[in-house]
Structure formats: structure tokens, C-alpha cells
Amino acid sequence: MNANPIGVFDSGLGGLTVVREIRRELPRESIVYFGDLAHLPYGTKSGAQIQRFSLESTEFLIQKGIKALVIACNSSSSAAFHLVRKRFSIPVLSVIEPAVEESLGMSAAGKIGVIGTAATIESGVYEVALRRKNPRIQVFVQSCPLFVPLVEEGWLDGGVTERVIEKYLTPLAHKGIDTLILGCTHYPILAAEIHSFFGPRVRLVDSARPTVRRLASLLQEKKLLYEGKRKPKFEIFTSDLPRNFRLVGERFLGEKLPPIKVVR
Ligand code: DGL
């Protein structure tokens, strides 16, 4: 079982930020990634629809023999984590809890901002998870739907992007937050711009790192870590291939993409 791959899915290629971190932190592990590009974006869809797509994505990865699953998509983690965890017997991780814990450890003022897609923000999962761990924490949320197309288009800085960032994030700045959870796969790509909007007063939380730390300790605890010498495999499957997939995918992964297999 130990040599089996870790499964990661996302609505698209944004979840490759999590894969990048797995490859850094757990370089011996094989990875199978599924990007549900045919149904992207999840962030504007209903919870029921996101649950259906998430179950289908998980089924696909289970058939690939995965030993554990990371739901890299915040919208799926919000709508479908409990359902997926109940339905399948392998360990399943969402990106929400690790980001919540990281932010609570970082915030001195107890004022945490959360940004994400409409689906994630409307689900209220971050507020619930933060308040469950610390009822005194003040949470301020904001959906930023235009951030996803900006990143996909490669508009990572410049006037339009600055204006959009300012428009969405000014209300959070007025609340005096000192920590901001980037609750969407795409937002870490805008981290430099978001950081320069807030200045050093606000610390940004990217869920990839704490999620992979948690994955590593979970695999260790369940004796699922691969400790052999075989070269790790890294496969990417998607349900569609849009025109600019290579450019977008490599931006998230931070290295050349392996050949992508399209499954219908
Ligand atoms: N992967 C999604 C998320 O993290 C962003 C893109 C989408 O809306 O599908 O919420």
C-alpha cells in the first residue's frame, strides 16, 4: 500500500500549488492529480453540483489506487469534504482546517480575514471552523470572484488587477485584520500584489504548506509513507484541456507539466 500514489483533485489546475508542495516536502511519493477542467469553475456553482463533481473526481482517483486524498479545491473542501470522507475509506484531507490552524497561530490581534470564491464564502465553513477553535476570534469574509479569471489570464499585476484587489480588499483593511487566509487555489498567485496592498501589517496564509505538513504526519501515523527507492510517478489527468492549459498549469506547479491525459 505504501508505494501507492497520493491523489489530489481540484476543479482545474490551481490545485497544482498543493502538488508543488507535496513534491517539495514528500519527494518520494507518487502523485495522481485530477483537474476537473470540464466543470471549472466550481466557485460559482451550487453546493449540490460541487458535491456531485467532487464525488466523481474522487471515484476516478480511487480507481487509480490512491492511498490518501487531498481535496486541493477550497470550493470542494467547503461543499463536499464531509461527504467524501464518509463515502470513502482512505484518509481524506481538506485545505480548510490546516489554513484555519495556521491563521490562528499567526494572528496576534484575533482579527482574521478570509477570501475565497462565492461558493466557499457563502458556505461559511471558515467562520465555523475558526470560531469552533477560538470563539473570541473576529472573522471578516469577502468573496473575490474576479481573482480566478485574472490569474487564468496571467494578469498578476498592473492597473486592472490593482483596482480589483483594492475594490475587494478595502473593506477588510478597514476592519483592521492582521491575518488573511487565501481561501482559493488561485489566490497565492496574487500574493505579492495582495501583500503590497495591505503592507507588512497583514500576514497571508496559503493553505498548501500547512495542508502538506498535515498530510505528511497523517501518512506517517497510518504507516502509509513510501520509504523505498523507486522513482516516484507523477500523473495528471483532466476532464478537458483548454487552450492555455500549459501556461496556466506551469504557473501553479512552478515547473514543466508532465504530459496530461484527458479522460471523458
Ligand atoms: N479551485 C477553486 C477553489 O479553490 C477555484 C476555481 C474554481 O472556482 O473552480 O475554490
Query: Can you list the residues of the chain whose pLDDT is less than 70?
Result: 1
- The Cα 212–Cα 20 span in angstroms is 10
- Catalytic member of 184, 189, 208, 224: 184
Instruction: Indicate whether residue 43 lines ligand 1 (CB < 6 A).
Output: yes
Q: Are 87 and 151 in contact (CB under 8 A)?
A: no
Residue 198 Cα to ligand 1 midpoint, Å, equals 23
Identify the bridge partners of residue 262 per DSSP, sorted by sequence position: 238
Burial class (CB in 10 A: 0-12, 13-18, 19+), 40: buried
pLDDT of residue 151: 93
CA distances to 22, 51, 55, 158, 236 from 249, in Å: 16, 24, 23, 21, 11
Looking from the CA of residue 119, the nearest atom of ligand 1 is 10
Residue 73 Cα to ligand 1 midpoint, Å, equals 6
pLDDT of residue 56: 98
Looking from the CA of residue 117, the nearest atom of ligand 1 is 10
Instruction: Indicate whether residue 10 lines ligand 1 (CB < 6 A).
Output: yes
Task: Give the three cell numbers for residue 175.
Answer: 476592519
- Buried b vs exposed e over 196-230: b needs ≥16 C-beta within 10 Å? ebbeeebbbbbbbbbbbebbeebbeeeebbbeeee
Looking from the CA of residue 185, the nearest atom of ligand 1 is 4
DSSP state of 175: T
Residue 231 Cα to ligand 1 midpoint, Å, equals 31
Residue 41 Cα to ligand 1 midpoint, Å, equals 6
Would residue 184 show up in a list of annotated catalytic residues for this protein? yes
- The Cα 41–Cα 149 span in angstroms is 10
Instruction: Indicate whether residue 75 lines ligand 1 (CB < 6 A).
Output: yes
Dihedral of CA 21/110/179/127: which sign? positive
Task: Centre a 10 Å sphere on the Cβ of residue 12 and count the other Cβ atoms it contains.
Answer: 27
The verdict on pTM exceeding 0.85 is yes
pLDDT of residue 242: 79
In tens, the pLDDT along 136-173 reads: 999 999 999 999 999 988 999 999 999 999 999 999 99
Residue 67 Cα to ligand 1 midpoint, Å, equals 24
pLDDT of residue 1: 57
Q: Which of 148, 239, 240, 252 to mutate to test the pocket of ligand 1 (most atoms within 8 A of CB)?
A: 148
Dihedral of CA 212/213/215/220: which sign? positive
Instruction: Indicate whether residue 17 lines ligand 1 (CB < 6 A).
Output: no
pLDDT of residue 244: 86
Task: Give the three cell numbers for residue 5.
Answer: 500514489
Q: Which of 17, 81, 151, 184 to mutate to test the pocket of ligand 1 (most atoms within 8 A of CB)?
A: 184
Instruction: Indicate whether residue 35 lines ligand 1 (CB < 6 A).
Output: no
In tens, the pLDDT along 14-27 reads: 999 999 999 999 99
Would residue 73 show up in a list of annotated catalytic residues for this protein? yes
Supply the residue whose CA is at minimum distance from atom 6 of ligand 1.
41
